[in-house]
């Protein structure tokens, strides 16, 4: 059993998202992963997030294992058909990548190769089911497989989707297919989190709530206009706008939030957009706040 699965079953965990590079130079992100490997339960490796071209998530996940980090390999249904996806599942097993976070994936027109043809041969519940079947030694077509290992499977959840009842329904389908944990879009205030937790209190899965450090008003505008389905609260935006050092203030706010939710959720998933090299400092701030 890997560190992530073992720790999430015991109590509060922290995961960090590190995107594969847009080129073949891997030294910097791997060095960051190495530095934090003993401080987080897992490192999410994104799969062409926001339909932007990056290095293979599976390859980069394997490189993570070589520096001592435990990857949570994201798999999107957008780019590959069921043959390719199943090949990647077998490859993950052979490379010792046991944690998966499965999602549908953003439509290609939103990314940097808008002419790409979407695949979507399988949807997220189907791919989750395929991964679960592989764990039991069976391919998606029902034929037996040899040498299979057990995946720990997760998925994503948008806590601000409207109607939220539909998102909960989709989550239940993913759980039935084999999902055991969910990572969410970022929260920026406690009131939104408390309302969400009340809605999902009967959902039988672990929830790692998203946290994204804000570094500027420009970033807030981008997230509000292009990424989030619910705007960042005005009082949060004002704190960044009035800060002498907005990036440092954003990390401070995230550290405060993480420590405030420890007794409420199963864990947090930190997505440090554009702040890769600040991850160790953010973890320092979280650990300092925990001691107080």
Q: What is the per-residue pLDDT for 208?
A: 98
Structure tokens at 151: 């995946």
Gyration radius from the chain CA atoms: 18
SS (H, E, C) 185-215: EECCCHHHHHHHHHHCCCCCCEEEEEECCCC
Give the mean pLDDT of 196-218.
96
Q: What's the rounded Cα separation, in Å, for the pair 227 and 199?
A: 23
Residue with tokens 């939030």: 257
> In terms of Cα–Cα distance, which of 239, 240, 234, 236 is closest to 218?
240
CATH code of 177's domain = 3.20.20.220
Split at pLDDT 50, 70, 90, the class of 134 is very high
> According to the model, what pLDDT value does residue 51 have?
94
Q: What is the pLDDT of residue 274?
A: 85
Q: Is residue 132 very low, low, confident or very high in pLDDT (cuts 50, 70, 90)?
A: very high
| 1 has pLDDT over 70 | no
Contact yes or no for 100/152 (Cβ under 8 A): yes
Our count of domains for the chain comes to 1
Interval 234-285: pLDDT, tens: 999 999 999 999 999 999 999 999 999 999 999 999 999 889 999 999 999 9
Instruction: Check: CB of residue 103 under 8 Å from CB of residue 46.
Output: no
Give tens-digit pLDDT for 143-193.
999 999 999 999 999 999 999 999 999 999 999 999 999 999 999 999 999
Read off the pLDDT band of 216 (50, 70, 90): very high
**What percentage of residues in the chain have a pLDDT greater than 70?**
100
The overall average pLDDT reported for the chain is 95
Sign of CA dihedral 175, 180, 186, 192: positive
Indicate the range of 72-76, 154-158, 265-269, 287-291 predicted with least confidence: 287-291
- Give, as one character, the DSSP assignment of residue 273: T
* β-bridge pairing 13-18 and 181-186: unpaired
Cα 107 to Cα 104: distance, rounded to the nearest angstrom: 9
End-to-end CA distance of the chain: 33
Residue 63: domain span: 3-291
Mean pLDDT, residues 92-104: 97
Look at residue 39 and tell me whether its pLDDT is greater than 60: yes
Distance CA 268, CA 260 (A): 11
Averaged pLDDT for residues 133-152: 96
The lowest-confidence range among 48-57, 160-169, 206-215, 282-291 is 282-291
């Amino acid at each position: 059993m890997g560190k992530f699965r073992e720790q999430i079953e015991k109590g509060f965990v922290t995961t960090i998202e590190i995107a594969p590079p847009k080129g073949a130079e891997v030294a910097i992100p791997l060095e960051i992963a190495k530095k934090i490997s003993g401080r987080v339960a897992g490192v999410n490796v994104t799969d062409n997030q926001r339909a932007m071209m990056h290095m293979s998530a599976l390859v980069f996940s394997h490189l993570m294992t070589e520096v001592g980090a435990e990857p949570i390999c994201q798999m999107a249904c957008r780019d590959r058909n069921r043959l390719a996806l199943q090949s990647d599942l077998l490859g993950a097993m052979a490379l010792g990548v046991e944690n998966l976070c499965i999602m549908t994936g953003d439509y290609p027109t939103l990314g940097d190769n808008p002419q790409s043809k979407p695949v979507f041969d399988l949807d997220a519940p189907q791919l989750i089911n395929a991964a679960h079947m592989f764990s039991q030694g069976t391919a998606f077509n029902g034929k037996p497989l040899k040498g299979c290992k057990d995946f720990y499977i997760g998925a994503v959840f948008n806590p601000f989707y409207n109607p939220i009842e539909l998102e909960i329904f989709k989550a239940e389908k993913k759980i039935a297919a084999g999902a055991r944990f969910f990572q969410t879009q970022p929260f920026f205030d406690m009131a939104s989190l408390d309302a969400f937790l009340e809605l999902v209190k009967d959902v039988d899965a672990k929830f790692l709530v998203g946290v994204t450090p804000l570094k500027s008003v420009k970033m807030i505008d981008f997230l509000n206009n292009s990424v989030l389905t619910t705007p960042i609260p005005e009082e949060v935006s004002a704190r960044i706008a009035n800060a002498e050092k907005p990036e440092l203030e954003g990390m401070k706010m995230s550290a405060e939030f993480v420590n405030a939710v420890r007794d409420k959720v199963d864990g947090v998933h930190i997505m440090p957009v554009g702040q890769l090299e600040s991850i160790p400092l953010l973890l320092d701030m979280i650990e300092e706040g925990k001691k107080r």
